[in-house]
């Protein structure tokens, strides 16, 4: 396929396909060293394929840098092939501009604000339907409250008892070494009672419940969201929050203080073994001092903040469950996020309670 320059116009002739393109490119290289054409005359091109179109696109990009380059004279058959295979006319994908450091911070704050707002809306729905559910059980499964009470409360007793016993045992063991040096063996009862009632009982129980029950709540709702069961409830004119979340919310409100009280009792038993066996404190003295050191205010605060922890765990688990997207991977991410955020929130709330009542 010959090519030549006539009056600043590059004239192409014959067939322009995969076989002739290498020959044209070699000859064109010598021509362009001596001439800089401004147009390409395609009138004599009788046939072209996709390789020829790619060659023309490359030629246009290469020569357009030196001036205006215009294709002219292509016959209809050749022009139709060019229009089909050319990439010059395709829209150029402009990459998104990279955000700066402060823009990223602002974007994160805006997203966090939106998530917090969505969580507040969900919390308001849960509180509203929970209050309505005390007087009207319509829209809830029969026996759901009892079922959730067993799952969230009774089934959690073994792990709560085990960890509370170990915590009480370790606290007393570590404290006993120091108290024995000063002859203050009897104060082990005071220290253990205050620690278990004010801090360790509520927060350790909340962390256990967040890891055990919070993850179960998030995964259950997330699975229902992925399998479109939530959409099915809406189609049946059932409120998902009222049908799914409210029984869990009401049940954990009742069982959480019971779990905390049970945790405190078991922790006292674990610590009592050290006090009686290692420090030689009598059983009656240990029990009496434990009762005397605890005030009614301590019990109210302990059980009160355990209820707040329970509400936080249910709301966070439900929020991540309803927000899930994707399949099984989304369920896993929602479950993990709910546990992490629940434990973090429990610790922050506990710190706030400590600042308020100390």
Q: What is residue 290's predicted lDDT score, i.e. its pLDDT?
A: 87
Domain ranges across the chain: 3-85, 137-357
Q: Report whether pLDDT(38) > 80.
A: no
DSSP helix/strand/coil, 227: coil
Is 3.40.50.300 the CATH classification of the domain at 3-85? Answer: no
DSSP helix/strand/coil, 134: coil
Separation CA 285–CA 271 (nearest Å): 14
pLDDT in tens, 275-293: 888 888 888 888 888 888 8
pLDDT in tens, 214-256: 889 999 898 888 888 888 888 888 888 888 888 899 999 999 9
Percent of the chain with pLDDT over 70: 94
* 358 in Cβ contact with 198 (< 8 Å): no
- What is the average pLDDT value for the chain, to the nearest integer? 84
Separation CA 67–CA 34 (nearest Å): 16
- Beta pairing class for 3-6 and 9-16: antiparallel
Q: What is residue 176's predicted lDDT score, i.e. its pLDDT?
A: 84
pLDDT in tens, 15-27: 888 888 888 787 7
pLDDT in tens, 308-329: 999 999 999 999 988 888 777 8
Q: Report whether pLDDT(69) > 80.
A: no
* 42 in Cβ contact with 14 (< 8 Å): no
Q: What is residue 307's predicted lDDT score, i.e. its pLDDT?
A: 92
Split at pLDDT 50, 70, 90, the class of 73 is confident
Split at pLDDT 50, 70, 90, the class of 67 is low
In terms of C-beta distances under 8 Å and separation of at least 24 residues, what long-range contacts does 143-152 make, across chains too? 144/247, 145/247, 145/250, 145/251, 147/247, 148/247, 148/248, 148/250, 148/251, 148/252, 149/251, 149/254, 149/255, 151/213, 151/216, 151/251, 152/209, 152/213, 152/248, 152/251, 152/252, 152/255
Backbone angles phi, psi at 104, to 5 degrees: -65, -40
Q: Which of 258, 210, 259, 225 is nearest to 331 (CA)?
A: 225
Split at pLDDT 50, 70, 90, the class of 8 is confident
Contacting residues for 209 by C-beta, under 8 A, at least 6 apart: 152, 156, 252, 256, 259, 309, 310, 313
Sheet with 39-48, side-by-side order of all strands: 3-6, 9-16, 39-48, 70-72
In the Cβ-directed half-sphere of 211, how many Cα atoms lie within 13 Å? 8
């Amino acid at each position: 396929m010959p090519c030549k320059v006539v009056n600043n116009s590059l004239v192409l002739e014959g067939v322009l396909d995969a076989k002739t393109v290498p020959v044209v490119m070699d000859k064109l290289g010598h021509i362009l060293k001596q001439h800089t054409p401004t147009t390409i005359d395609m009138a004599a091109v009788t046939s072209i394929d996709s390789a020829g179109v790619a060659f023309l696109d490359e030629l246009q990009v290469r020569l357009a840098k030196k001036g205006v380059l215009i294709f002219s004279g292509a016959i209809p058959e050749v022009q139709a092939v060019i229009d089909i295979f050319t990439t010059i006319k395709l829209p150029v994908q402009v990459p998104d501009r990279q955000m700066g450091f402060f823009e990223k911070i602002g974007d994160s704050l805006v997203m966090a604000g939106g998530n917090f707002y969505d969580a507040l809306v969900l919390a308001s729905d849960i509180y509203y339907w929970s209050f309505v559910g005390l007087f009207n059980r319509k829209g809830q499964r029969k026996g759901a409250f009892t079922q959730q009470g067993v799952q969230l409360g009774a089934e959690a007793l073994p792990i709560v008892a085990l960890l509370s016993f170990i915590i009480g045992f370790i606290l007393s063991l570590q404290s006993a070494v120091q108290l024995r040096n000063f002859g203050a063996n009897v104060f082990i009862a005071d220290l253990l009672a205050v620690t278990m009632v004010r801090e360790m009982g509520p927060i350790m129980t909340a962390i256990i419940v967040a890891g055990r029950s919070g993850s179960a709540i998030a995964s259950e709702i997330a699975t229902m969201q992925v399998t479109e069961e939530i959409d099915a409830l809406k189609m049946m004119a059932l409120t998902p929050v009222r049908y799914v979340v409210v029984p869990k919310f009401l049940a954990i409100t009742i069982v959480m203080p019971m779990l905390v009280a049970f945790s405190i009792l078991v922790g006292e038993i674990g610590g009592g073994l050290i006090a009686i066996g290692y420090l030689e404190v009598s059983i009656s003295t240990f029990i009496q001092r434990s009762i005397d050191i605890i005030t009614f205010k301590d019990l109210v605060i302990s059980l009160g903040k355990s209820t707040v922890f329970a509400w936080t765990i249910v709301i966070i688990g439900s929020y991540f469950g309803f927000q899930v997207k994707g399949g099984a991977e989304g369920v896993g991410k929602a479950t993990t996020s709910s546990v992490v955020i629940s434990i973090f929130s429990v610790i922050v709330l506990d710190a706030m309670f400590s600042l308020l009542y100390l």
